[in-house]
Structure 1
Amino acid sequence: MADTAGTNEPTAPDRLVISRTTVDDVTVVTVSGEIDYHTSGLLRQALTPEESVTPARTVADFTGVAFMDSSGINVLITAHQAHGPAGWLRLAGVRTAVLRTLEIVGLTELVACYPTVNAAVAG
Structure 2
Amino acid sequence: MAEEPMTDAKQAMPSGQLSAVVTADEGTRVVTVAGEIDYDTGNTLREALDISGMHHPRVVVDMHQATFIDSSGINILIAAHHTISKAGGWLRLAAPTTTVMRTLSLVGVDAFIDCRETLTQALGD
TM-score class, shorter-chain normalisation, is 0.7 to 0.9
Q: Quote the RMSD (CA, aligned, Å).
A: 1.6
The unaligned stretches of length 5 or more in structure 1 are: none
Q: Which amino acid aligns with 1:26?
A: T
- Cα distance, 1:50 vs. partner? 2.8
Superposed, 1:42-61 pairs within 5 Å as 42-51=44-53, 53-61=54-62
Secondary structure in 1 aligned to 2:110? Answer: helix
- Deviant stretches of 4+, over 6 Å: none
TM-score by length of 1: 0.87
Counterpart in 2 of 1:4? 11
| Whole-Å separation in 2 of the counterparts to 1:114 and 1:84 | 18
- Answer with 40-49 or 65-74: which moved more: 40-49
**Structure 2 residue ranges without an equivalent (≥5):** 1-9
Aligned equivalents of 2:15 and 2:74: distance in 1?
A: 20
Equivalent position of 2:84 in the other structure:
83
Cα drift, residue 47 of structure 1: 1.1
Query: What per-residue deviation string (whole Å, max 9, x for no partner) do you get for residues 19-65 of structure 1?
Result: 011001000000000011100111111112132x2101100000000
Letter of the aligned partner of 1:11 in structure 2? S
Q: TM-score, normalised by structure 2?
A: 0.85
Matches within 5 A, 1:37-116: 37-51=39-53, 53-85=54-86, 86-116=88-118
Q: Provide the rounded CA distance (Å) in 2 between the counterparts of 1:11 and 1:40.
A: 9
